[in-house]
Structure 1
Amino acid sequence: MIIMTISIRWLGHSSFQINVDEKVIYVDLYRSKQLRERVPDALDPATLVLATHSHNDHCFPEAINEVRNSETTVIAPADCSEKIGSEITSLTPGEETTVQGITIKAVHAYNVKRFRSPGNPYHPKGFGVGYLINAEDKTIYFAGDTDVIPEMKELESIDVALLPCGDTYTMDNRDAAEATRIIKPKIVVPMHTWDKSVDDFKKQVEKETDVEFKHLKEGESFSI
């Protein structure tokens, strides 16, 4: 039996490249001038591109067009279609699809305590999603832009959790540590940090859980 390795590479901000054998998945691919300077490598053609919501730093048409070809499947909320300018597959929380043996399931992602103005969250419920990516009997949870939400209690058997912790629009370090305690992944990786320190996140995870904390440098990868 051939055992395939899954590699996870942080491209900066909330952008990740996930390789499953020869298949390439990009999640929330964002290639600002600053990120291109930090990770200048040319990117591989995509099997799958996932976008969690239509904000420009998560649904960035220029970057998507760089990696997309006629065989690429793009999965994103419906309001991303006008930005991307091509046919997409949209999943609402609870829905899933399988592409070349990789199963993608949408889950909830939203704010409960971070607001533009009173009663107006940055990411209202139903605006965006997170994703469960299942391949080779491994499950990766990409949280999207979210606070700690009740639906996290429903997540099970997560191998890797990719969690935002930069505050303002998403969880902060304390919240992300709480989410880690709830989800109980084998590995947790911080993202959407806005270049802020993740030390408090790391300290809480290492003190209160048995979860492995991986703080990647931009362009760095690891395998599971």
Structure 2
Amino acid sequence: MSQTRRHFLVTSAAAAGAVTLLPYAARAAAHAGDTFETGAGPITVHPVSHASFVMETPKGTIYVDPVGEPAQYADFPAADLILITHEHGDHYNADTLAELVVENTRMITNPAVFDMLPEEMKARADAVANGEMTQFADMNIEAIPAYNITEERKNFHPQGRDNGYVLNFDGFRVYISGDTEDIPEMRELSDIDLAFVCMNLPFTMDVNAAASAVSDFAPTYVYPYHYRGRDGGTQDPEDFAKRLGTGIEVRMGDWYA
């Protein structure tokens, strides 16, 4: 039986002579997942918050950009793999990682985040740059560019620094955009079964650009995520879904409970 974060934290505290109460555990349990059947086995997606989510997969449990209170992850299985797209605080937090990493956790990051990792974490991490590929549990993982193309936004995510990812589960391909605009590398993706696509201003793109790009690469399923912004920059996922029309199934995760 796989160990959950709740079990790991409670047993660790008990070994120290105390049991720590986890006030956010109920919230973690409330993040009901969507399950997608694949040739390799089921993949269950659990939105956590904004850009953070957990996938229970045939290759192990994958945490994507986990930040915030560690107890939000307490009822999920411990992470076999942690993917980090870039260094911004809603995607990377070293203190959160220190609480989530267990003995066999592996991490994949972009080079900039790798350089920021505490030394004890670098031993379990691999830096993967745009266009490079690595493997985890016989699964190919490709680092996809993620960057801004609007002139006044280029300082947020400069070209060449940050990652998106494509994970290949024996032919079932999952795209995670990270923070990006509707770049050519996104529009040129092919054979994507499940996508997670960001949209907010001023940091990424608006709903129109997101829908246009997704229409081009036409995944079977797509989650709009990372859609709250500042100064009126929040994007409407329902509007995104309407702009896509038919042929692409939109899943609305509970990203902001």
Q: What range is the shorter-chain TM-score in?
A: 0.7 to 0.9
- Aligned partner of residue 216 in structure 2, secondary structure: helix
The residue aligned with 2:77 is 44
Q: Does 1:57 align with 2:94?
A: no
The residue aligned with 1:198 is 237
The residue aligned with 2:103 is 70
Normalised to the residue count of structure 1, the TM-score between the two structures is: 0.85
The runs of 4+ residues in structure 1 deviating greater than 4 Å are none
Tell me, in whole angstroms, the C-alpha distance in 2 between the residues paired with 1:77 and 1:184: 26
- Aligned partner of residue 104 in structure 1, secondary structure: strand
From the superposition, tell whether residues 181 and 146 of structure 1 become closer, same or farther in structure 2 (CA, over 3 Å): same
Normalised to the residue count of structure 2, the TM-score between the two structures is: 0.75
Query: What one-letter code is carried by the residue in structure 2 that aligns with 1:143?
Result: S
The residue aligned with 2:206 is 172
From the superposition, tell whether residues 40 and 19 of structure 1 become closer, same or farther in structure 2 (CA, over 3 Å): closer
Cα contact 1:142–1:162 (8 A) shared by 2: yes
- Aligned partner of residue 200 in structure 1, secondary structure: helix
Tell me, in whole angstroms, the C-alpha distance in 1 between the residues paired with 2:76 and 2:55: 12
From the superposition, tell whether residues 191 and 103 of structure 1 become closer, same or farther in structure 2 (CA, over 3 Å): same
From the superposition, tell whether residues 92 and 59 of structure 1 become closer, same or farther in structure 2 (CA, over 3 Å): same
- CA apart distance, 1:82: 4.6
Q: Does 1:91 align with 2:128?
A: yes
Q: Larger radius of gyration, structure 1 or 2?
A: 2
Cα contact 2:111–2:161 (8 A) shared by 1: no
> In structure 1, which of residues 139, 144, 148 is the aligned counterpart of residue 173 of structure 2?
139
- Aligned partner of residue 126 in structure 2, secondary structure: coil
Render the CA deviation track for 1:68-93: whole Å, top value 9, x for unaligned.
Answer: 12311111122223543121211112
Greater share of strand: 1
> In structure 2, which of residues 197, 203, 216 is the aligned counterpart of residue 182 of structure 1?
216
Tell me, in whole angstroms, the C-alpha distance in 2 between the residues paired with 1:136 and 1:53: 26
Higher RCO (CA 8 Å, separation ≥ 6 residues):
1
- CA apart distance, 1:198: 1.6
* Structure 2 residue ranges without an equivalent (≥5): 1-38
The percent identity for this pair of structures is 30
* Structure 1 residue ranges without an equivalent (≥5): none
Greater share of helix: 2
- Aligned partner of residue 121 in structure 1, secondary structure: coil
Cα contact 1:74–1:89 (8 A) shared by 2: yes
Cα contact 2:40–2:58 (8 A) shared by 1: no
- CA apart distance, 1:6: 0.9
